[in-house]
Chains A and B, each alone.
Chain A
Amino acid sequence: MITILISNKYFTMSSLFKKYLMALTGIVLIGFVFVHMLGNLQILLGQESINAYAHALQSLPLPILWGSRIFLFACVVLHAFTAILLIKENRAARPVPNEVERTKRAGWSSLRMGLTGSIILAFVVFHLLHFTTRNLYPEYGELETATGSPDGEMIHDVYTMVLVGFRIDWISISYVICMFLLCRHLAHGVSSTFQSLGLRSESWSSKLDLASKAYAWVIFVGFSIVPLSVLADKYGLISFYSHNSLKTADLL
């Protein structure tokens, strides 16, 4: 429907407007994943830290909490629909394909933005059902503790939920694979954002490409540390996480 809205005869977007839209919604999402990663990493500081952080986020005033959620959702929807529109138009721009298709410069990540983007979108849906709405594992909602609570009241035990969640091998492994695809998406996406908005020049384009790749790897490592360390902890390779809370979880 949005595709029809943005491409009808009363309002046609120029090719560059679509690029700006991709870039601007992209920037929001680039920023979001970084903040989300920093939030996740608090699990390394212990149960109290991550639980207090999660509780503080959940206790934000409703307009701020839901305002940001709706804003992020709108960015994802616009980003995805504009991408579909771009791909559709680009296919139409070459009706007879080349017999031999060769590539000189473009890398795997830049040529596969649609593929990585679609998988990331599916992952986001899974992730929300997994840890946010907890439809997939309703029992995660019953995990409660006073650790990290500001006033001693019982709060949701995010620490234990993440430990229990990531001790399932296939879940941790698919999370890491999806984070690798996100890393590939960002490797082209971040530098592409600057190019699309025109914030790029000869003198710093190579630095920008490097920074873009570095950012993508930081995101990959930052997100993968948690599931990988939980798995390593499960198999006794490291002893890092507090298992006290898991005993409670086993009672579930």
Chain B
Amino acid sequence: MNLTLKVWRQSGPEDKGRFESHEIEDVSEDSSFLEMMDQLNELLLSKGIEPVSFDHDCREGICGMCSLNINGFAHGPEDSTTTCQLHMRKFEDGDVITIEPFRARAFPVVRDLIVDRSSFDKIIQAGGYISARTGSAPDGNALPIPKADSDKAMDAAACIGCGACVASCKNASAMLFTSAKAGHLNLLPQGKAEKDKRVVDMVSAMDNAGFGNCRNYGECSAACPKDISLDFIAKLNRDHAKAKLKKLFS
């Protein structure tokens, strides 16, 4: 298939950035979106043009490195899919595809389509951990956790931290990420001891990083490659309110 790619080019954080159009021919519909990007870069190299920088790593949908806003959708139009798992058969021959970085003030562009997602690391550093030493792996069932709770914690832990929630949110809010990371630990007995401090600190780190405010549109969950539910946002709202009220009356 032949495609026209409208790609965002930005030489560095200070550059204003612009779109560049490239025609690409003979793309296999069995290739992944990133393989198509590799093909584009080979083409650009052969023409003596600087290749397009983009993030990628495992290419099997579990590392959270790939990003890209494709035709207005974070990770492309397919549901529950990362860019690396998106295949070119989902596009038509002759399509014009607009490729942009995950845009947010908290995700400054490093170069072209690569953004700095270390704001997420700051949120994790604020409370996305358990400070007690956990030692080696415990015996199975030594710590009784109801199946429903462990399943739910696992649903939250499925977050790969890719940032599609922020990119797809009309307000560039990081609530889905923060709520998944806090919710995952808050649901388990190991994480309960630091629950109140965790939610308050993580929300505060999220605010300080310059993300927007959640307005309950649900676009984050719709774009999430791991289908993290809005319930975790509700849970974070609830846990945060409880923590603040407890502090007020203690």
Chain A residues with CB under 8 Å of chain B are 14-20, 86, 89-90, 92-106, 110-111, 113, 188, 191-192, 194-202, 205
Contacts and interface: CB of A to CB of B under 8 A. Distances in A.
- Taking each of B8, B72, B206, which has the highest tally of chain A beta carbons within 10 Å of its own beta carbon? B72
Interface in B30-83: 69, 71-73, 79
24 contacts: A14-B240, A16-B203, A16-B236, A17-B244, A89-B212, A92-B210, A92-B212, A93-B106, A93-B172, A98-B69, A98-B72, A99-B8, A100-B69, A100-B72, A100-B98, A103-B170, A103-B219, A106-B170, A110-B215, A195-B230, A197-B238, A200-B231, A200-B234, A205-B231
- Taking each of A86, A89, A101, A113, which has the highest tally of chain B beta carbons within 10 Å of its own beta carbon? A89
A198 B230 CA distance: 10
A196 B69 CA distance: 28
A90 B219 CA distance: 15
A94 B215 contact: no
A15 B41 CA distance: 41
Interface of B: 6, 8, 17, 19, 69, 71-73, 79, 98, 100, 103-106, 168, 170-173, 203-204, 206-207, 210-219, 221-223, 229-231, 233-241, 244
A80 to B, nearest CB: 15
A99 B20 CA distance: 13
Contacts of B231: 200-202, 205
What 4 pairs between A and B have smallest CB-CB spacing?
A198-B238, A102-B72, A93-B212, A100-B72
B101 to A, nearest CB: 9
Contact of B240 (A16, A90, A97, A105): A16
Contact of A105 (B19, B206, B213, B221): B221
B203 A111 contact: no
Given A93-B105, A98-B69, A102-B72, A196 B168 contact: no
A89 B236 CA distance: 20
B73 A202 contact: no
B237 A198 contact: yes
A90 B170 CA distance: 8
A111 to B, nearest CB: 7
Contacts of A94: 103-105, 171-172, 212
A105 B219 contact: yes
Nearest to A113: B215
B213 A19 contact: yes
A18 B213 contact: yes
A11 to B, nearest CB: 14
Nearest to B234: A200
Nearest to A202: B231
A205 B233 CA distance: 13
Given A103-B219, A201-B234, A98 B214 contact: no
Given A105-B218, A199-B238, 17 more contacts: A14-B240, A15-B206, A15-B214, A16-B203, A16-B240, A17-B244, A89-B213, A90-B215, A93-B172, A94-B105, A98-B69, A101-B72, A105-B222, A192-B216, A198-B237, A198-B238, A205-B230
Contacts of A194: 234
Contact of A16 (B215, B218, B241): B241
A110 B229 contact: no
Contact of A197 (B73, B230, B241, B244): B241
B165 to A, nearest CB: 12
Contacts of B71: 100, 102
B207 A96 contact: no
B212 A90 contact: yes
B234 A14 contact: no
Contacts of A111: 170, 217
A196 to B, nearest CB: 6
Nearest to B8: A99
